[in-house]
C-alpha cells in the first residue's frame, strides 16, 4: 500500500471506527440504556420505531440534496451529523430523569446517526472517483472492529459504572470524529476521470427512481425483511439471552463476536468479488441471515447464541459492502447517494417494523415467539431477493 493510499485509508478507517463505536452505544445498548431510564419494552419499541421512521423520510431527502452536487456535500453533512450527535450525547449525560425529554433526544440522535450512515459509504465512492485511493473493505471492516471492541468493553463498563458511561464514551468518539472529518478534504483539483464531471439527471422522485431501478428497489424490500430479524436480535439481545442465563457482560461478548468476524469478510471483499458476483454475494448474505435467526431461535444456551452471532460474517458482513458495490455498479453517478440511502433504508425500515412489532411481542408473548416471527419474515425476504436479483434483474439486463 502506497504512503498516499495509507494516508487516505487511515483517516477513512478512523471515520468508520468512531462512527460504529458510537453506533454501539446508541443502537446495540439502546434497550439497556432506556430500560435504566424507566422505559418499558413497548415504549422502547415506539422510541426506536419513531427514530427509524424519521430516518427513512430524511435519508432519501438528504441524499437527493447531496446528489445535486451543490454546497451540501457528503463531508459537510457528515460533520453536521457528528456535531448533532455530540450535542445530543451531552444532553443525555446531563439529564438525570424525565422520560419525555429522554424519549425526544434519544429518538433524534438515533435518527441522525442512521441518516449519516449511507453518506459515509457514498463519501468513499466520491473520494475514490476523485483519485483518493482508499481500501473500502478494510476501512469498513475495521469500523466493525471498533464496534466490536467498544461493545465488549461497554458491556463490562456498564456493570461497573452504570449506563451513563455510554454517553461519556460517545462524547469522546464523536469529538475525535469531528476533528478527523474537518481535515478530511477532497483534493481541489480532481483527475479528469472523476465521475463528478459526468452530465445526467438525478432521479429524485421515488416513483421515477423505482421505474428506473426496479430490481434494486425490490431487493430493498427484501433487505427490510432481513433487517427485521437483524434489528430484533440487536435491539432486544438482553431480553433474548436473559432466559438463557445471559448478562450484560455476555451480551457484550455476543456483540463482540459478531462485529469482530465482520473484519475478514469486509477486508477481503474486493478479492471475493473477483470470484463471486455481487448479486450472488447478496443471495449468500440472505441465506446467512436466515440461518443466523434460526440458530438464535433454537439456542438452548449462550454457546449457540455465540454461534448464531458468528453467522454475521456471512450475513451483515457480506450485505453491507456488496450492497454498496451493487449501487455503484448499477446506478448513474447522480443517483448513487440515493442508492446508498435506500440500501440503508432497508436497514431502518426493518428497524421500524421490528421496533413496532417486536417490543409488543416481547411484552405479550416473550422472546421465543418474537424470534419465530422474525424467522418467517427473513424467509420471505430470501424469496423476494431471489426474484429481484435472478428473475427481475436478469430481465432488466436483457432489456439494457
Could you give the maximum distance between any two Cα atoms of the chain, in Å?
61
- The pLDDT of residue 2 is 54
**How many other C-beta atoms can be found within 10 angstroms of the C-beta atom of residue 197?**
11
- The pLDDT of residue 72 is 77
Lowest-confidence range among 8-22, 108-122, 176-190, 298-312? 176-190
Q: What is the mean pLDDT of the chain?
A: 86
Using DSSP's 3-state secondary structure scheme, residue 79 falls into: helix
In this prediction, residues 222-248 reach a mean pLDDT of 89
Per-domain residue ranges of the chain = 3-184+204-399
Predicted confidence band of residue 395 (pLDDT cuts 50, 70, 90): low
Lowest-confidence range among 53-57, 107-111, 193-197, 323-327? 193-197
Superfamily per CATH, domain 3-184+204-399: MFS general substrate transporter like domains (1.20.1250.20)
Q: 128: buried, middle or exposed (CB in 10 Å: 19+, 13-18, 0-12)? A: middle
In this prediction, residues 362-368 reach a mean pLDDT of 88
The answer to whether the CB of 224 falls within 8 A of the CB of 346 is yes
- The pLDDT of residue 245 is 87
The answer to whether the CB of 122 falls within 8 A of the CB of 62 is no
Run of H or E including 185 = none
Lowest-confidence range among 187-201, 249-263, 328-342, 380-394? 187-201
The answer to whether the CB of 280 falls within 8 A of the CB of 393 is no
Between residues 68 and 241, the one the model is more confident about? 241
Between residues 133 and 78, the one the model is more confident about? 78
Lowest-confidence range among 56-70, 117-131, 189-203? 189-203
In this prediction, residues 40-52 reach a mean pLDDT of 84
In 162-312, which ranges are continuous DSSP H helix?
Answer: 165-183, 206-212, 214-235, 237-241, 248-260, 262-267, 269-273, 278-298, 302-310
Q: Is the pLDDT of residue 294 over 60?
A: yes
- The pLDDT of residue 394 is 64
**Which residue matches cell numbers 495509507?**
6
Run of H or E including 198 = none
Predicted confidence band of residue 195 (pLDDT cuts 50, 70, 90): very low
In this prediction, residues 321-334 reach a mean pLDDT of 87
The tens digit of pLDDT for each residue in 214-226 reads: 999 999 999 999 9
Cα angle value 276/312/383 (rounded, 5°)? 65
Lowest-confidence range among 38-47, 199-208, 215-224, 371-380? 199-208
In this prediction, residues 353-381 reach a mean pLDDT of 90
Q: Is the pLDDT of residue 21 over 70?
A: yes
Separation of CA 382 from chain center = 19
Amino acid at each position: 500500500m502506497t504512503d498516499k493510499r495509507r494516508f487516505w485509508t487511515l483517516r477513512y478507517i478512523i471515520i468508520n471506527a468512531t462512527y460504529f463505536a458510537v453506533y454501539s452505544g446508541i443502537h446495540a445498548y439502546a434497550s439497556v440504556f432506556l430500560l435504566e431510564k424507566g422505559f418499558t419494552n413497548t415504549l422502547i419499541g415506539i422510541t426506536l420505531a419513531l427514530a427509524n421512521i424519521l430516518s427513512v423520510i430524511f435519508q432519501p431527502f438528504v441524499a437527493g440534496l447531496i446528489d445535486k452536487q451543490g454546497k451540501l456535500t457528503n463531508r459537510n453533512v457528515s460533520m453536521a451529523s457528528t456535531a448533532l450527535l455530540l450535542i445530543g450525547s451531552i444532553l443525555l449525560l446531563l439529564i438525570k430523569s424525565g422520560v419525555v425529554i429522554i424519549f425526544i433526544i434519544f429518538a433524534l440522535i438515533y435518527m441522525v446517526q442512521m441518516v449519516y450512515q449511507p453518506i459515509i459509504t457514498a463519501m468513499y465512492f466520491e473520494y475514490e472517483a476523485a483519485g483518493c485511493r482508499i481500501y473500502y473493505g478494510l476501512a469498513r471492516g475495521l469500523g466493525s472492529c471498533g464496534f466490536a471492541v467498544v461493545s465488549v468493553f461497554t458491556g463490562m463498563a456498564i456493570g461497573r459504572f452504570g449506563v451513563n458511561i455510554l454517553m461519556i464514551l460517545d462524547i469522546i468518539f464523536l469529538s475525535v470524529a469531528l476533528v478527523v472529518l474537518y481535515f478530511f478534504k477532497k483534493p481541489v483539483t480532481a483527475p479528469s476521470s472523476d465521475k463528478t464531471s459526468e452530465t445526467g439527471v438525478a432521479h429524485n422522485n421515488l416513483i421515477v427512481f423505482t421505474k428506473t431501478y426496479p430490481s434494486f428497489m425490490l431487493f430493498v424490500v427484501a433487505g427490510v425483511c432481513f433487517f427485521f430479524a437483524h434489528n430484533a436480535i440487536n435491539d432486544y439481545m438482553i431480553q433474548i439471552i436473559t432466559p438463557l442465563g445471559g448478562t450484560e457482560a455476555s451480551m457484550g461478548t455476543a456483540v463482540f463476536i459478531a462485529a469482530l468476524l465482520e473484519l475478514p469478510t469486509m477486508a477481503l471483499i474486493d478479492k471475493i468479488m473477483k470470484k463471486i458476483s455481487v448479486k450472488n454475494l447478496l443471495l449468500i448474505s440472505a441465506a446467512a441471515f436466515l440461518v443466523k435467526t434460526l440458530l438464535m431461535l433454537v439456542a438452548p444456551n449462550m454457546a449457540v447464541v455465540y454461534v448464531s452471532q458468528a453467522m454475521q460474517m456471512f450475513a451483515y458482513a457480506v450485505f453491507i459492502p456488496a450492497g454498496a458495490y451493487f449501487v455503484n455498479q448499477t446506478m448513474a453517478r447522480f443517483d448513487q447517494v440515493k442508492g446508498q440511502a435506500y440500501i440503508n433504508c432497508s436497514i431502518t425500515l426493518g428497524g421500524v417494523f421490528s421496533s413496532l412489532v417486536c417490543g409488543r411481542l416481547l411484552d405479550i408473548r416473550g422472546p421465543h415467539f418474537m424470534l419465530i416471527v422474525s424467522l418467517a419474515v427473513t424467509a420471505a425476504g430470501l424469496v423476494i431477493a431471489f426474484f429481484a436479483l435472478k428473475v427481475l434483474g436478469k430481465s432488466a439486463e436483457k432489456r439494457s
